[in-house]
Amino acid sequence: MSAVFEQIFQVGFLAAIIRIATPLAFATLGEMFSERAGVLNLGIEGIMLLSAMTGFTATSLSGSLWLGVLVAVLTGMLMGALHALFTVALGLSQHVCGIGVTLFSSGLAYFLYRLIFGQQSVPPSIKGFETLPVPVLSSLPVLGPAVFNQFALVYMAILAIPLAAFVLYRTPWGLSVRMVGENPRAADSAGVSVIATRFQAVILGGALMGLAGAFLSMAQFNAFTFGVVSGRGWVAIALVVFGRWDPWRSAGAALLFAFVDALQLRMQASGLGHIPYEAFLMLPFIFTIVAMAVMSRNAVAPSALLKPFRREER
Amino acid sequence: MFRLEVRVSTPAWFNLALPLLAIAATLVLCSGLIALAGAGVIEAYGVMFTASLGDSYAITETMVRAAPMIFTGLAVAVAFRAKFWNIGAEGQLLAGAVASCFVGAIPMSGPLAMLLMAVAGAAAGAAVALAPATLRVKFKVDDVVSSLLLNSVIYYALMALIEGPWKDSFSGYPISPPIEDSANFPVLLEGTRLHLGVVVALLAAPLIWFLIVRTTLGFRIRVTGENPEAARYGGIHVERVLISTALLSGALAGLAGVGEVGGVHFQVMSDISPGYGYSGIVVAMLARLNPLGVVPAAIFLAAVMTGAEAMSRATGVPAFLSDVIQGTALLAMLVALLFTAYRIRRVGVAR
């Protein structure tokens, strides 16, 4: 038991949790914005993959990491706009469109990657982000090296959480987002454009999903592989539900999942575990499904989620 | 002046015209990618067609690939008819594959083994689909998310099996031990892979069509999907219908897995399904949820997949074009479906 304990309180372990949590935090916040406005975005898995690919490619061709991040974010926004076009402007069913966006974006990512880089025996890689220690704070014991000696994108994720909460709960735009997600009819009467607000929220969500993809291919793996996202988008869908559509809780859920994932990796590496690692990977999905069953009585999901809005229909 | 009008009914020829329109739009859109890859559009599509439907061997290969998508397409079509949003065909397929492989590895007479494999696979798929349906009926849990998330649960369970207790001790690879030779589905045409499961899939479509259109259960499924309030008012036990639909849908998806184990791979591996469960959604939408339409829709997608590899060898266009075509076809079909809801009507200018 003490061996396990020592493992947990290693600095490297804490740093690993933060690193695993980062793309999940971006993706979860992105999905949360979309869903708070009433739009489920199942395109997330494909959007993350395509952004990871375009970001990696831009960096690989230009040598600039931040240009890559920008391209990944723009890719996410573009795909978000596409999903919004189908689900918000045309009012098509959100879940089927989302699957369509995921199939389309993943296919496009594979296609373009193969077209640009061909089939190489050693997949091309880039010199990804390097850790950027924060002055003073990085010399704190334990927390310093674990939290304040990370990639710039990690700090952005940490800052994105309070920022998302502020935007959602303390700005007029955030109020509009919540209104169009809860009661679009009332929002419309109050002069809020349901269509425009939903578009904006889904596109903002896409930008965050793009950052998640960028982190995977440009900071975590420094390469694009076909399994670079491997279900993290679906994890984010689960974490939003588990985090009750709240930025703080969703980020907390991402951290909790990252802890379980990091623990699983450690146990696999040290040969400590007798439990198959897949059991840990299953946990967030099982927890979420159970949580949905328990929570459903006090309905916390945005009321207008999955419901298209058409002004003329009453 | 033109204006959009809500349509009350759609003419029957729409059922054929809309998918064809969507497919035509998809091929036009994707021709841009072929041009981007520096190949001739006509040539690339030509190779794709010849390699998938050009001769009898190619047709058998396409049919082998279409079979699982016929089953998952039927699974999705049945579920969506009742507005049970089953996004979980992928997981149900995997569960069906595991269960049938488990049964197929037990020594027994061939026909009995095949029958029991089908029963076990269908039961496993149904059991997986039962979870989101029960959660929706009992706890009002959104079936889209729960059925989607179950895919990951089943996938990791499969991985745990084939990397753990079920790992093939002979090869040491993370694949399950093979099923008994006698349980391999018979090949119907010498020199091809056309197996018994393909015929079963082709027979399943008219059977499911009959069930949906001509039986009481089918009527209940349709009414529950179209108007649950009216269904309830008319004495239909909506919850029970949803559960029955889920069982039927899951069983069909499970059978897709059975065919892959019994007729194609003879064992279970992590990539036994290249997303056939998700393709089932594309198939069902292209078919406008009509079980008979599922067959041509599945053959179309299978032809694209089979043909893409040959096209890639001949023209250098990445074979992943087939994945793009699949996604584009789904989105194009959704847009085309708007024509069923609205019509563009010319309005006379007032004098």
Per-residue pLDDT of chain A (314 residues; tens, 9 = 90+): 455 555 556 778 888 999 999 999 999 999 999 999 999 999 999 999 999 999 999 999 999 999 999 999 999 999 999 999 999 999 999 999 999 999 999 999 999 999 999 888 888 889 989 888 888 888 887 777 778 888 999 999 999 999 999 999 999 999 999 999 999 999 999 999 999 999 999 999 999 999 999 999 999 999 998 889 988 999 999 899 889 999 999 999 999 989 988 888 877 777 665 678 888 888 888 988 888 888 765 567 888 888 888 776 54
Helix, strand, coil distribution of chain B in percent, nearest 5: 70, 5, 25
Tokens for B292, please give them. 């008979």
- Stated as kind and residue range, the H or E segment containing B346 is strand B342-346
Distance CA A170, CA A38 (A): 19
Q: Do A231 and B152 touch (CB under 8 A)?
A: yes
Distance CA B266, CA B174 (A): 14
Q: What residue type is assigned to position A134 of the chain?
A: V
Q: How far is B80 from chain A (nearest CA, A)?
A: 11
Residue in A closest to B334 by C-alpha: A92
Handedness of CA B30, B36, B41, B44 (dihedral sign): negative
Identify whether A304 is part of a domain. no
Identify whether A259 is part of a domain. no
Contact A83, A41 (CB under 8 A): yes
Q: Do B330 and A114 touch (CB under 8 A)?
A: no
DSSP calls for chain A = -HHHHHHHT-HHHHHHHHHHHHHHHHHHHHHHHHHHTT---TTHHHHHHHHHHHHHHHHHHH--HHHHHHHHHHHHHHHHHHHHIIIIIS---HHHHHHHHHHHHHHHHHHHHHHHH---SS--B------EEPTTGGGSSSHHHHHSEE-HHHHHHHHHHHHHHHHHHHSHHHHHHHHHHH-HHHHHHTT--HHHHHHHHHHHHHHHHHHHHHHIIIIISSB--TTSSTTHHHHHHHHHHHTTT-HHHHHHHHHHHHHHHHHHHHHHHHT---S-HHHHHHHHHHHHHHHHHHHGGG--S-TTTT----TT--
End-to-end Cα spacing for chain A = 62
Identify whether A38 is part of a domain. yes
Chain A residues within 8 Å of chain B (Cβ atoms): 40, 42, 46, 86, 90, 92-93, 95-97, 99-108, 110-111, 114-115, 231, 234-235, 237-238, 241, 276, 278-279, 281-282, 285-286, 288-289, 292-293, 296-297, 301, 306
Query: Which chain B residues touch A100 with a CB distance below 8 Å?
Result: 282, 327, 330-331, 334
The reported pLDDT for the residue numbered A299 is: 60
Contact B134, B245 (CB under 8 A): no
ipTM of the complex: 0.92
Domain extent listing, chain B: 2-346
Place of tokens 């907390």: A252
Q: How far is B220 from chain A (nearest CA, A)?
A: 23
* Best to test chain B binding among A292, A307, A312 (most B CBs inside 10 Å): A292
Contact A132, A79 (CB under 8 A): no
Q: Do B36 and A231 touch (CB under 8 A)?
A: no
The reported pLDDT for the residue numbered B209 is: 97
DSSP calls for B242-282 = HHHHHHHHHHHHHHHHHHIIIIIISS-BTTS-SSHHHHHHH
Q: Do A296 and B144 touch (CB under 8 A)?
A: no
Query: Which chain B residues touch A301 with a CB distance below 8 Å?
Result: 142
Residues of chain B with pLDDT under 70: 1, 346-351
Q: How far is B189 from chain A (nearest CA, A)?
A: 33
A213-245 burial, b if ≥16 CB within 10 A, otherwise e? bbbbbbbbbbbbeeebbebbbbbbbbbbbbbbb
Identify whether A308 is part of a domain. no
Query: Which chain A residues touch B160 with a CB distance below 8 Å?
Result: 276, 278-279
For B141, which DSSP code? -
Query: Which chain B residues touch A97 with a CB distance below 8 Å?
Result: 331, 334
Identify whether A149 is part of a domain. yes
The reported pLDDT for the residue numbered A291 is: 82
Q: How far is B323 from chain A (nearest CA, A)?
A: 4
Identify whether A264 is part of a domain. no
Query: Which chain A residues touch B140 with a CB distance below 8 Å?
Result: 296
The reported pLDDT for the residue numbered A7 is: 52
- With H, G, I as helix, E, B as strand and everything else as coil, classify residue B6: strand
Structural domains of chain A, count: 1
> Any residues with CB less than 8 A from the CB of B96 and at least 6 apart, and which?
B121, B122, B124, B125, B253, B254, B255, B256, B257, B258
Identify whether A300 is part of a domain. no
The reported pLDDT for the residue numbered A10 is: 74
In CATH, what number does B2-346 get? Answer: 1.10.3470
The reported pLDDT for the residue numbered B351 is: 47
Query: What residues make up the domain containing A72?
Result: 11-121+140-232
Q: How many CB pairs under 8 A join A and B?
A: 137
Residue in A closest to B276 by C-alpha: A103
Q: Decide the pairing of beta strands B2-6 and A149-150.
A: unpaired
* Out of A95, A107, A235, closest to residue B327 by CB: A107
Nearest C-alpha neighbor of A206 from the set A67, A278, A102, A133: A102
Q: How far is B264 from chain A (nearest CA, A)?
A: 24
